[in-house]
Structure 1
Amino acid sequence: MSEKNREGKRTARERLAVEREKQKSAEKRRRGLIVGASVVCVLGLAAVIGVVAANSGGDDGESESAGPVVAPSGALGKDGTVIPVGDQEAKATLTVWEDFRCPACKSFEQVYSPTIHELTDAGQLKVEYHLVTLIDGALGGTGSRDSANAAACAQDAGKFTAYHDVLFRNQPPERDDTFADKDELIELAGKVDGLDTPAFRTCVEDGTHNSWVAKSNEAFQKGGFSGTPTVLLDGKNIYQDSSLTPQRLKQMVEEANKG
C-alpha cells in the first residue's frame, strides 16, 4: 500500500473519530437539556401545587369562621370585640388579652382571678376581655377559636365569667387541641349552673361567633402586642412588671379609684 493510501485511511479514521466525539457531545447535551427541562417541569408543578395549597389551605378552619361578624350579647368597643365584666362606672379598667389554650394565661388566672373577682364584685374595677387565637396560629388546630366562640356563647347567656374560669381550670396541655372538640366544650358548660341549654349548644356547634373571634384576634395583631396574656391597667402594661402581685394590683386599683 502506498504512503498516499495509508495517509488517506488514517485521515478518514481521524475524521470518523472526530465525528463520533461530536455525536457523543451532542447526545450528552441533548440528555442534559431533557433532564434540565424535566427539573423545570417538576419545579413548575411544585409551584403550582404550592399556590393551590396556599389558596385552598385551612378550608376546614376558615369555612366555619366565614360569614358575618356576630358579636356576643353586651359586647363593647370597636367592632364589639370587648367582653365587659364588672361595673362599667368603675374608675379603674383592666384590659386582658387571653387565649384559652395559652398556659401563661392559665397561670395568670390562677394567681390573679381571686383578686380580680374581689375588685369587680366590689365595684372598684371593670375588666375588658379580648379573646385571642395565638396558639392555633402557632401550633395549628382550632381549640383557641372554638373555646373563644364557646365563651362568647356563654356571654350570650350571661355566664361568661363562670365559664371563662371553667375553661382555664380545665385547660388541656398546650399541644393538645382538646378544645377543638365541641362536645368537650358543651360538657364543660355543665359545670356552670344553667349554661348547658339548647341555645348554648347550637351556638357552640354552629360556631356562631367564629368570625367575631377572628376579628378580635385581628385587633390583637394590629395592637402590636408581644404575647398572651397581655394585661393593661388603665392603658399601662402591668403584667410585664416583675414586682406585680395580687396585693399590688389591689393597691393600684384602689389608688385609681381614689383619684
Structure 2
Amino acid sequence: MSEKNREGKRTARERMQEERAAQEARDSRRKKLLAVGAVLVVILAGVGIGIAVQSSRSSSDVPKASPAGTIGKNNLIVPDGPANAPSTLTVYEDPRCPACGAFEHEFSATVDQLQDQGKLYGNYHIVSFIDRHDSGKGSKNGANALGCAQDAGYFRAYHDVMYKNQPDETVDTWKDKSKLIDLAKQVPGLDSPTFENCVNTNHFGSWVSAVEQDFDKSGYTSTPTILLNGKPIYPKNGTEDITPDNLVKWVNEANQGKPLGTTGSASASPAPTSTAVASTPAQSPSS
C-alpha cells in the first residue's frame, strides 16, 4: 500500500472518530437536558400527571402502522440480508447524523457484500433524535421515508442513496419532503405516487416515534452504534480499530464452522409490491 493510500485511510478513520466524539458530546448534552426537564416535570406536574404521561408513552410504543417486513417487538427493526446468516450486525443510525454518514461511506459496500455472501444479517434501528436539539424535522422525515422504501421493497438501495446525499447536519434539508422524494428517482422502481404519498403523509410517523422511544430506553447514547452479535464494535472491537478489512475478519472469525445463510430466506426488504398507503387515510405527522 502506498504512503498516500495509507494516509488516506488513516485520515478517514480519524475523521470518523472525531465525528463520533462530537456526536457523543452533543448526545451527552441532550441527555442532561432531558434529565433536567424530566425532573422539572415531576416537580411541577406531580405524581398523578406523571402516571398519566407514562401511560401515554407506553401506549405510543406500539406504532399504528409499520413498514412491511419489519421485525422484532412491535416491528421496529428493518432487516437486511438473509435471516439465517450466522452473524447479525445491529445498526442504530439517525439520517442526519454525520458520524453515521462517515460510517456508511466507508462501510456500506463491505456490509452489503457480507450480507450478499450469506455471512451477515443486518438489523437497522432508524432513530431520529437529532431533530430534538434543533427543533428540526429532517431526521423524522428521513426515517419515515426509509420506512416507505422498506414497505415498497427498496430499503437498502434507498438507504445507500440517502447517505450518499446526506446534507450537513446544521442544514435541515430534509425538512422539505420533496428532497426525499427526489432521491427516490435514483432508485429504479421506487419513484411512484405510492411512495410519494407515503412520504408526504408521514404514513409511518408513529413507527418513527416508537423506534426513537425504543432507542431512548436501550441504554445507547449516540449514533452510529454498531454491534456484531450483540457486542459493540464501533469505533473499536477491543483494541482493534474498525476498518472494512477488520470487519470482514471479525465476521469470518465469528462465523467459523457455521453454515452460511441463504439469500432467499426472509431477506431484508419484502419483494416490491403495491402497498395500501395510497388508499389509506393520511395520518397526522408525529412531532
TM range (shorter): 0.7 to 0.9
Q: Counterpart in 2 of 1:248? A: 246
Q: Which amino acid aligns with 1:103?
A: P
Match of 1:189 among 184, 192, 199: 184
Report the alpha carbon displacement of residue 68 of structure 1 after superposing the two structures with TM. Answer: 5.0
Hey, what's the Cα distance between the residues in 1 that align with 2:249 and 2:193? 43
Q: Is the 8 A contact 2:162 2:183 kept in 1?
A: yes
Pick from 77, 81, 84: which aligns with 2:79?
A: 84
Q: TM-score, normalised by structure 1?
A: 0.73
| Higher RCO structure, 1 or 2 (CA under 8 Å, sep 6+) | 2
Cα displacement (A) at 1:140: 1.8
Q: 1:119 aligns with which of 107, 114, 121?
A: 114
How far off is 1:240 after superposition?
3.3
Corresponding residue for residue 232 of structure 1: 227
The runs of at least 4 aligned residues of structure 1 exceeding 3 Å deviation read none
Code of the residue aligned with 1:142 in structure 2: it is K
Q: Counterpart of 1:214?
A: 209
2: CA distance between counterparts of 1:185 and 1:201? 9
Equivalent position of 1:97 in the other structure: 92
Give the superposition deviation at 1:112: 0.8
Distance of 1:129 and 1:204 partners within structure 2: 19
Deviation at 1:220, TM superposition (A): 0.7
**Is residue 168 of structure 1 aligned with residue 163 of structure 2?**
yes
Cα displacement (A) at 1:152: 0.5
Tell me, yes or no, if structure 1 residue 146 matches structure 2 residue 141: yes
Q: SS state of the match for residue 167, structure 2?
A: coil
Shift of 1:243: 1.5
Q: Residue 205 of structure 1 is aligned with which of 200, 222, 225?
A: 200
Instruction: Specify which structure has the higher proportion of helix.
Output: 1
Identity of matched residues, %: 48
Aligned alpha-carbon RMSD (Å):
1.9
TM-score, structure 2 normalization = 0.66
**Which residue in the other structure is 1:24 paired with?**
none
Whichever residue aligns with residue 183 of structure 1, its letter is: S
Kindly tell me: are residues 68 and 108 of structure 1, through their superposed partners in 2, closer, same or farther at Cα, counting changes over 3 Å? Answer: closer
Q: Which runs of 5+ in 2 are unaligned?
A: 1-44, 46-59, 258-287
* AA in 2 matched with 1:224: G
Q: In structure 2, do the counterparts of structure 1 residues 68 and 231 end up closer, same or farther at CA, with 3 Å as the change threshold?
A: closer
Distance 1:130 1:69 in 2: 17
Shift in Å at residue 91 of structure 1? 0.8
Give 1:69 deviation, angstroms. 2.3
Q: Match for 1:100: what amino acid?
A: P
Q: How many residues align?
A: 197
Q: How many angstroms does 1:198 deviate by? A: 1.1
Q: Which residue of 1 aligns with 2:54?
A: none
Q: Secondary structure at the match of 1:190?
A: helix
- Structure 1: tracts of 5 or more residues without a match: 1-50, 52-64
Secondary structure at the aligned position of 1:94 is classed as: strand
Bigger Rg, which one: 1
Deviates more, 1:216-225 or 1:233-242: 233-242
**Letter matched to residue 92 of structure 1:** S
Q: Which letter does structure 2 place at the counterpart of 1:210?
A: G
